Structure 1
Amino acid sequence: MRRHARAVRAQGLFDEVLEGSWKEEPSLRQLLRLARFRDVTVVPLFVSEGYFTGTVIPRELGFEWRGPVPPGGLTAVIDGHRVHYTRPYGVHPDMAEVIAARAAEVCGEWDPARTALVVLGHGTGRDRQSQQAIEQAAAALRGRGRFAEVQALYLDQAPRVDDWAALTRAPDVVIVPFFASEGWHTQDTIPHDLGLTGAVTEFPELPGGPRRVFYSRPVGTHPAVTRVIVRLVEDSLDAPLSPEEPAWRAAGAALLRASSGEAGLAVGELQVTPLPDGRCDLRSQVDAGRTDLTTVALSDLSAWTGRTADGTHRPIRTQRSLPRGWWAEVETSELRAALHAVYPAVLEEAYAWENGTLPVIPWTDTAERQSGLYAAVRRASPAQVAQARHKTCASCLRTPLWAGEPLSATFLTGDPQALPCPEACTLLVAAVREELGSHQETPAQGEVTHV
């Protein structure tokens, strides 16, 4: 997700490129609060349509829509923003060429008469819609005569990839995973279950004769996907763009004022110190005065602070686990981006709280909004919610306003530990569900929950 966002950002086509996730920060619920402009286009980084693209993401963004997204996407006015929501990139017609490009990386100049292509999807019995993108891409490539045969096969439904030798006839077979990213399936289970030993595997003793299998990287990590994302955005911009959000600029000005004093600004576990040359020094507060720190560029700051000292992933950045041993020096104009890289959305939420415009969503409303397997949290008792909150929130710097805890100031007005939390996060929702003893909700079709 971040790699595609950087590539889109580098093209300079848009004034702002944001990233959001369902179970990480910044969350989908925070996205509009972060937006500088009132016109926002959201592209789900999914390889297919399904429950998440048709229900979860629209719901979390504030759309009333539920179900398959129309070909032209959705548009609604939400919290003063005009929001455009597109279909996932995996259903775009250009993805057929991305599959062919992945095949070319491992197979080179193949003989169309002797080469079969397998487009490999995850598959699910829960949503027929999830396999349509794979079927459409396979059909498009099948009609171009570039392969002797093109098959759409799956991990968890028929026709299964385990049967590739019986379902294809060509001596050379190229398998391209139609997955959004590298992961457990593409790197471990698929090669192991199929007996693949690398990019090319020889099978000299199959019933139909010797065969070669070429195994590519997943389609979602190919650089050409960036062009597909841009196309989706450009196709959705059919009206004059809306102006800048005044509160966005005002929040940035408040940050500069708060950090301009000689002592700088403390935010959670982070210390921001103004330098004589007009730049700012950022580091963990416990590293004050150290000169043996690793220099981290602004572009790497989010990834660097996204893990603890022992390498554990930090989906909620405001937990008391900010890694030590680094420092970043940024221009004053970059301070907001740097703070966002360390603590996403805390500036916008603190500014809104200071000005009485931050909506606080009580737990009952958050629970009522859940669907699918997470709808079970609606019946959680106050004791179960409290137990889940203790496990999830005890190490978080944020003050849970949604639970009724008071907050008289924020880090913008002198209290570095005062970070407002207006709504229970998805990790807490998952923790409440665990307290109920239910099974975890899992994405269909190998989806990843990024936009």
Structure 2
Amino acid sequence: MTQTALIVAHGAPADPAPAQVALEALATTVAGLLPGWRIAGATLAAPDALEEALAACPGALIYPFFMAEGWFTRTALPRRLTAAGATGLHQLPAFGTDPRLTDLVARAALQGAEAAGLTPKTTTLLLAAHGGKASPASAQATQALAARLAQRGDFAAIRVGFLEQEPFLADAARGLGAALCLPLFALRAGHLARDVPQALRDAGFTCPLLPAIGEHPDTPALIARALGAVQLPGRKALQSAGSVSILEAPSRSRQ
């Protein structure tokens, strides 16, 4: 029996096509790590994308490709699923809540520092996130991640900057010296294409800006591990994670 899953992201309402294409490509990569699975991708912003994917993948596991649990995962997405007649589906925790995300972010940052010729122990890691005045979920998740990264001790300091709440990214990015910025976004959409670079320019930040964490090459494996571990009636958890074993915690000897 083919197991099915649907990766759902917010997308970009102003220009939905590129994010939808990127999410479909991600779904294809994840499917390659899970033999026997059918994986689809849909953004909430792309017209009819969610409804068409649900029709093609009845009974699918729902994987929210969001950086935090909040209004979109708890209200908007369930509402859209119900409106499409897709009830009783199992929705996994959001991408940003995966316990393995800390290691993934650390690995991405260390790789970025190495590529830029920076020494992590003398470099500040700046985390750029969305934030929001209406809900504390994004900020809380980001600050918790920053605390875990600081505990690891890979970088000289960890700073956080938000687009829609204090501390604003343009303020957090000022006067850092040796630094690099890692955007905590799932997809490269409007915020990452325009708002993050603009905030960094406003701050005079000329250090490296890394790709969004959702674009990291190890992200498909993290998603595959989460999907493969689900145990529901009629489903078996993935017995062998050999194809996605790269998500084990990395050695800190790479500092």
Q: Kindly indicate whether the alpha-carbon contact (under 8 Å) linking 2:120 and 2:155 is maintained by their aligned counterparts in 1.
A: yes
Tell me the secondary structure at the aligned position of residue 85 of structure 1: coil
Q: Which structure has the highest helix share of the two?
A: 2
Q: 1:193 aligns with which of 177, 193, 199?
A: 199
Distance across 2 between alignment mates of 1:106 and 1:112: 10
Partner of 2:234: 240
Tell me by how many angstroms 1:145 deviates. 0.8
| Structure 1 residue identity aligned to 2:35 | L
Count of residue correspondences = 210
Partner of 1:113: 121
Q: 1:97 aligns with which of 103, 106, 110?
A: 103
Q: 1:172 aligns with which of 178, 181, 188?
A: 178
Distance across 2 between alignment mates of 1:18 and 1:127: 29
Tell me by how many angstroms 1:60 deviates. 1.8
Tell me the secondary structure at the aligned position of residue 83 of structure 1: coil
1:38-437 correspondence to structure 2 within 5 Å? 38=59, 40-62=60-82, 83-108=89-114, 110-164=118-172, 168=176, 171-195=177-201, 201=206, 213-241=207-235
Tell me by how many angstroms 1:86 deviates. 0.8
Tell me by how many angstroms 1:25 deviates. 5.2
Tell me by how many angstroms 1:136 deviates. 2.3
Tell me the secondary structure at the aligned position of residue 139 of structure 1: helix
- What TM-score do the two structures reach when normalised by structure 1? 0.42
Question: CA separation of 1:182/1:237 partners in 2, compared to 1, >3 Å: closer, same or farther?
Answer: same
Q: Kindly indicate whether the alpha-carbon contact (under 8 Å) linking 2:162 and 2:169 is maintained by their aligned counterparts in 1.
A: yes
Q: Kindly indicate whether the alpha-carbon contact (under 8 Å) linking 1:123 and 1:155 is maintained by their aligned counterparts in 2.
A: yes
RMSD, aligned α-carbons: 2.8
Distance across 1 between alignment mates of 2:160 and 2:175: 10
Distance across 1 between alignment mates of 2:119 and 2:196: 25
Which has the greater radius of gyration? 1
Q: Kindly indicate whether the alpha-carbon contact (under 8 Å) linking 2:62 and 2:89 is maintained by their aligned counterparts in 1.
A: yes
| Structure 1 residue identity aligned to 2:101 | M
Distance across 2 between alignment mates of 1:26 and 1:44: 17
Distance across 1 between alignment mates of 2:230 and 2:215: 23
| Structure 1 residue identity aligned to 2:56 | L
List per-residue Cα deviations over 1:131-184 (Å, max 9, x = no partner).
23212221111110101111222122111221235685xx31111011122233
Partner of 1:10: 32
| Structure 2 residue identity aligned to 1:107 | A
Q: Kindly indicate whether the alpha-carbon contact (under 8 Å) linking 1:123 and 1:131 is maintained by their aligned counterparts in 2.
A: yes
131-140 vs 107-116, which moves further: 107-116
Structure 2 unmatched ranges of 5 or more: 1-22, 237-255
1:440-451 correspondence to structure 2 within 5 Å? none
| Structure 2 residue identity aligned to 1:239 | P
| Structure 1 residue identity aligned to 2:181 | I
Tell me the secondary structure at the aligned position of residue 41 of structure 2: coil
Distance across 2 between alignment mates of 1:121 and 1:88: 15
- What TM-score do the two structures reach when normalised by structure 2? 0.71
Distance across 2 between alignment mates of 1:165 and 1:59: 37
Distance across 2 between alignment mates of 1:167 and 1:125: 26
Distance across 2 between alignment mates of 1:165 and 1:155: 12
Q: Kindly indicate whether the alpha-carbon contact (under 8 Å) linking 1:102 and 1:217 is maintained by their aligned counterparts in 2.
A: no
| Structure 1 residue identity aligned to 2:63 | V
List per-residue Cα deviations over 1:400-425 (Å, max 9, x = no partner).
xxxxxxxxxxxxxxxxxxxxxxxxxx
| Structure 2 residue identity aligned to 1:192 | Q
| Structure 2 residue identity aligned to 1:147 | F
Q: Kindly indicate whether the alpha-carbon contact (under 8 Å) linking 1:118 and 1:175 is maintained by their aligned counterparts in 2.
A: yes
Distance across 2 between alignment mates of 1:127 and 1:172: 32
Q: Kindly indicate whether the alpha-carbon contact (under 8 Å) linking 1:105 and 1:216 is maintained by their aligned counterparts in 2.
A: no
Partner of 1:326: none
Distance across 2 between alignment mates of 1:56 and 1:192: 29
Distance across 2 between alignment mates of 1:229 and 1:4: 10
Identity of aligned pairs, percent? 24
